[in-house]
Amino acid sequence: MSVPTLLPALPAATLSSPVADAYARLAEVFPGLRVRELVDGEPAPRGAGWVGAEELADGGAALDAFLAWDNAQVLRDYGQQARPDVVASFGLHRYAWPACLLITVPWFLHRRVPRLPVGEVAFQRALGRMTVRVGEFACLPGDPAATLPGARIVPDEEALRGEVRAAVAEHLGPVLDGFGPRMRRGKRALWGMATDEIVEGLWYVGHLLGEESRAMAELSLLLPGSGTAKPYVGTAGFRELTGPDGTPLPTRDRASCCLFYTLRPEDTCVTCPRTCDADRVAKLSASA
């Protein structure tokens, strides 16, 4: 039996951080990503494989070094040279997917939305580590965390969803600007990628938490495709197929293409717009 993960709030006296419990729970179900909050006055890590999000946003030498890792990985795993825009797309995905979880997981678990400008996040991709410094966060009325420094109370769930969209845009916007010139994609396509990173990251973590259905429902409300969701492009895109034995098979239609088909044309992603429903059913049934 799955256990609901919208956990009861801790007493105010035991709270020292609005996000620590959420990041600890994330590490429990997904050990490949561990997040540490920096203490007051502690500098963000640099060197030894660490890169600051603001360095990626600058689009200079740090981004060159970051993408060199992706280029080497493609050569090692696929034995061919990928186009520069494909390498940049892979690199953006490998940063943006965990970066979105920094915001969406505290929201999903505890209804708290941290603000994380690019200057407050660092990433060590080889180790699956991130550091953050949370100066401000949004929460709902009645949350014990509302007494913590930096708390900003919003009136209801829709207002909090707006905070999620704004927080991710604040963080990813400069990163998209840094990657954009290397990707041969316009603003609309880049924000379609942002939509996909938000959705597919939390969808996956929701599955690990035993709450896939709730994650899908929450994401559908978060990204409804209306004007309220700008600058994001597209919707959460969930729909359901039926397996050969009648089993429901959840899937979604991505708002963007990850370009993996340029390396393996016969092996498109199961959520790719290029993948027909018959192929999706076959792939999903095989992995069930």
pLDDT at 249 over 60: yes
- With beta carbons less than 8 A apart as the criterion, state whether 130 and 102 touch: yes
Residue 14: per-residue pLDDT: 52
pLDDT band at 275 (very low <50, low <70, confident <90, very high): confident
Task: Output helix, strand, coil percentages for the chain, rounded to the nearest 5.
Answer: 50, 15, 35
Strand order in the sheet with 129-132: 34-37, 129-132, 121-124, 50-52
**Average model confidence (pLDDT) across the chain:** 91
Alpha-carbon distances, residue 94 vs 99, 207, 224, 256 (angstroms):
9, 19, 25, 15
- Nearest in space to 197 (alpha carbons), one of 69, 67, 128, 95: 95
Alpha-carbon distances, residue 225 vs 143, 171, 202, 234 (angstroms):
29, 20, 17, 5
CB atoms inside a 10 Å sphere around CB 141: 9
Percent of the chain with pLDDT over 70: 94
Residue 247: per-residue pLDDT: 87
pLDDT at 193 over 80: yes
Q: Residue 124 is inside which H or E element, if any?
A: strand 121-124
CB atoms inside a 10 Å sphere around CB 143: 20
Tens of pLDDT, residue by residue over 77-111, are: 999 999 999 999 999 999 999 999 999 999 999 99
Residue 2: per-residue pLDDT: 34
Residue 274: per-residue pLDDT: 79
- The Cα–Cα gap between 210 and 1 comes to 9
Residue 3: per-residue pLDDT: 33
pLDDT band at 4 (very low <50, low <70, confident <90, very high): very low
pLDDT at 5 over 80: no
pLDDT at 10 over 50: no
Tens of pLDDT, residue by residue over 157-192, are: 999 999 999 999 999 999 999 999 999 888 999 999
Per-residue pLDDT averaged across 105-121, rounded? 98
Bridge partners for 153 per DSSP: 139
Peptide bond into 181 cis (omega under 30): no
Tens of pLDDT, residue by residue over 21-52, are: 999 999 999 999 999 999 888 999 999 899 99
Tens of pLDDT, residue by residue over 211-229, are: 999 999 999 999 998 777 8
- The Cα–Cα gap between 185 and 167 comes to 23
